[in-house]
Chain A
Amino acid sequence: MAEFALTARTPLDGYDRTFGGVTLAEAAGLSLVSAAVPQGGDDAFAAALAEGFGASRPSTGEWVPGDRLGARILGMQPDQLFILFEAPDPDRAAEAVSAALGPAAYVTDQSDSWAMLRIAGRGVRAALERLCMLDLDDAAFPEGRVARTVMEHLAVIILRDGADGFLLMSPRSSARSFLHAVEQSVATVSG
Chain B
Amino acid sequence: MLIDHPLLGPRDEAEFVILGDAGLIDRPDWQAEDAAQLFHDYLHLRDNPAGEHRELWFHEQGDRSWLVVTRNTLTHEIVRVELARDVAIARGRDR
Contact = CB atoms under 8 A, between A and B. Distances in A.
Interface of A: 39, 59-61, 76-78, 80, 133-134, 140, 147-150, 155
B17 to A, nearest CB: 12
B65 A150 contact: no
A59 B7 contact: yes
B90 to A, nearest CB: 16
Contacts of A39: 95
A149 B64 contact: no
Contacts of A78: 7, 63, 65, 83, 85
26 contacts: A39-B95, A60-B8, A60-B63, A61-B8, A76-B63, A77-B63, A77-B65, A78-B7, A78-B65, A78-B85, A133-B11, A133-B12, A133-B14, A133-B15, A134-B11, A140-B9, A147-B62, A148-B61, A148-B62, A148-B63, A148-B64, A149-B11, A150-B14, A150-B15, A150-B61, A155-B61
B81 to A, nearest CB: 15
Interface residues of B, number: 15
A149 B61 contact: yes
A47 B95 CA distance: 23
B14 to A, nearest CB: 6
A147 B5 CA distance: 13
Nearest to A59: B7
Contacts of B61: 148-150, 155
Contacts of A77: 63-65
B62 to A, nearest CB: 5
Contacts of B83: 78
Given A59-B7, A148-B63, A149-B15, 19 more contacts: A39-B95, A60-B7, A60-B8, A60-B63, A61-B8, A77-B64, A78-B65, A78-B85, A80-B64, A133-B12, A133-B14, A133-B15, A140-B9, A147-B8, A147-B62, A148-B61, A148-B64, A149-B61, A150-B14
Contacts of B7: 59-61, 78
Contacts of B64: 77, 80, 148
